[in-house]
Amino acid sequence: MFDISIRDEFSSAHNLRGYKGKCEALHGHNWQVEVVVSSKVLDEIGMAIDFKKLKEVLSCVIKDLDHKYLNDLAYFKKVNPTSENIAKYIFDKANPLIKKESVVLKNVSIWESRDSKATYSR
C-alpha cells in the first residue's frame, strides 16, 4: 500500500458555540491541512497520483474557507466549527474530487496550532 500526502494552509476565524472558555469568543487560526490518500497500485510511470492533482483538489476545497468567518458558512451554521468538524468538512468536499479509481482518500488532518491536530477518516 502506498500513502501519498500533501499539505496546504488557510486562515480563518471562528468561535465555538457551547464552549466555556477562551474559544467561545471570536478568534482566528492559520490552519495547516494534510490530505492523505492510499493506493495499492502505481500507474505506468510509477505514481499513485500526481502531487499536482492532489494539491489542486485541496486548493479547490480550502479556497471556500480561506479568510472567512467559518460560523457564517452554511455548513457551520448547523455544525460547530471545531477542528474535528473542519477536518470532516474538508474530507467530505475533497473525496468526490479525487477521480482516480485506484486512489482512496484515507484521512484529513488539520492543525489549529503547531501542536494541536485533529484527524478525520472513514
> Is 60 an annotated catalytic residue?
no
| Res. 38: pLDDT tops 90 | yes
| Res. 88: pLDDT tops 90 | yes
| Res. 67: pLDDT tops 90 | yes
pLDDT higher at 100 or 33: 33
The Cα 53–Cα 35 span in angstroms is 12
| Res. 65: pLDDT tops 90 | yes
In the prediction, which pLDDT does 45 show?
95
Confirm if 8 and 59 have CB atoms less than 8 A apart: yes
Active-site residue identified among 24, 56, 67, 84: 67
Active-site residue identified among 23, 24, 27, 56: 23
The Cα 35–Cα 116 span in angstroms is 16
CATH class of the 2-120 domain in this structure: alpha beta
In the prediction, which pLDDT does 101 show?
83
pTM of the full predicted structure? 0.95
State the average pLDDT over residues 37-58. 96
Strands laid side by side in the 103-113 sheet: 68-69, 2-14, 27-39, 103-113, 116-120
| Res. 48: pLDDT tops 90 | yes
For 8, residues 6+ apart whose C-beta sits below 8 A from its C-beta are 32, 33, 55, 58, 59, 62
Please state, rounded to an integer, the average pLDDT across all residues of the chain: 96
> Is 112 an annotated catalytic residue?
yes
> Is 67 an annotated catalytic residue?
yes
pLDDT band (50, 70, 90) for residue 53: very high
In the prediction, which pLDDT does 109 show?
98
